[in-house]
Amino acid sequence: MKNLPVWEDVRSFFKDHIKIIISTIAVCIVVYSIGVGYSFFSNTKLENSNEIDLQQGSINGNEETILTKKELEELQKNIVSFDFYVENDEAVQFTNYNLLKKLLIAPDTIKMIEEKANSSLKPSPKIAVNVSLDHETYLLTLSIGTGDYKLNKSISTAYYESFQDGSIPFFKNKFIYMTSTPKLHKESVEEKEEKQQGTLVEGNTAPSLTKIALYSVIVLVGSAILGVIISLIYAIFRKEIIDSFSYAVKEDDIVLNFTNLKNISNEELGIKLGHAINHPFKRVKVILSEQPLEKELVHHLMQNEKKQNNDAEVNTTKMVIASDLSEIDPLLPVEEVVLIIKKKTTTKNWYKIQRVQLENYNASVKVIQIQ
């Protein structure tokens, strides 16, 4: 088709809808920023809550242990851990690691573990005992962190043996599979990165800076695409014609898009437009425009018609300007119809009505789009 968009049309489309695209990008970025900010706020709040819990872990009765951040970091050294898998008699995996931790640090359980290990769990079970879950494999990990490798080893071994011999009531009606033995816990690359970027206690982590950067790019590109889609929908459903591909033409129509002309004065544009309307020669031309044409253009067209009439030659053109084809004398032998489309002004409905009426005419059609 003759009015398929070319590069100039595409650039013009973006220029016309740049406000919509930028507004869409801005809204998406604001929403994304709010989401990231809320995520940081929630994780920070949870981190502070967890630090308070760690620092105020009860040991005996009302006795509390207050630990500094440095002391908490010392407890994370020489951690001993082992992995295991738990499922019930219906082969459904157990994944509630927070509940499991509460059961494992219950007073009766701690008393039994300390007796088996022949050691006292310090500074506090709530601080030293942690349970985490691998959400991909559903493996649970029990880790002991007291700052003392020997104590960590003995307590971890006591838990390991209690899991196997069923000393802990919770495991009596469940199947437990030990996938590793108590050993010094080695941090994975992911765990080290999470700690550097603000890892929270028991697997609650703040958003990764790398992920934030990646998601930011995705949001930026996605919002730009969304803005283009919204602009296309807006262009399709808008009443006025704004692009050359907003209206249909036939294969034998002549389509001239003057909106892409640059660095040209209004006077020069009027001359070129008048020439485009006059050429090629037709005895009777009808110029249709929903809005009144510029006086300078009408004057230029009338001057050309007068010049032709004064010419000795027989080749003269009769021009009729109207806003609707129904205004034309039905007996007039029209040879060419020129449709003037004013961008963002001429309505699609008016254009459609003229095209329907043109089906009754055996005349060539020329479509000229102007600003």
Residue identified by tokens 């013009």 is 12
- Give the residue with greater pLDDT, 105 vs 122: 105
Mean pLDDT within 258-281: 82
- Segment 200-244, tens digit of pLDDT: 334 444 556 788 888 889 999 999 999 999 988 888 888 888 776
- In percent, how much of the chain has pLDDT > 90? 34
- Give the residue with greater pLDDT, 163 vs 265: 163
Residue 237 CB neighbour total at 10 angstroms: 8
Check residue 201 and give its pLDDT.
Answer: 39
- Give the residue with greater pLDDT, 348 vs 44: 348
Check residue 205 and give its pLDDT.
Answer: 46
Residue identified by tokens 């949870």 is 46
Lowest mean pLDDT among 81-85, 110-114, 189-193: 189-193
Q: Is the pLDDT of residue 83 over 90?
A: yes
Check residue 39 and give its pLDDT.
Answer: 75
pTM, 2 dp: 0.51
Residue 294 is encoded by which pair of tokens? 């510029």
pLDDT confidence bin for 312, thresholds 50/70/90: very low
pLDDT confidence bin for 111, thresholds 50/70/90: very high
CA 143, CA 152: separation in Å to the nearest integer?
A: 8
Mean pLDDT of all residues belonging to the chain: 80
- Segment 127-153, tens digit of pLDDT: 889 999 998 888 999 999 888 899 999
Looking from the CA of 201 toward its CB, the CA atoms found within 13 Å total 24
Check residue 41 and give its pLDDT.
Answer: 72
Mean pLDDT within 255-284: 83
Lowest mean pLDDT among 27-31, 185-189, 252-256, 272-276: 185-189
Q: For residues 90 and 108, is the Cβ–Cβ distance under 8 A?
A: no
Q: Is the pLDDT of residue 335 over 90?
A: yes
Check residue 186 and give its pLDDT.
Answer: 67
Provide the sign of the torsion angle of the four alpha carbons 343, 344, 350, 351, taken in this order: positive
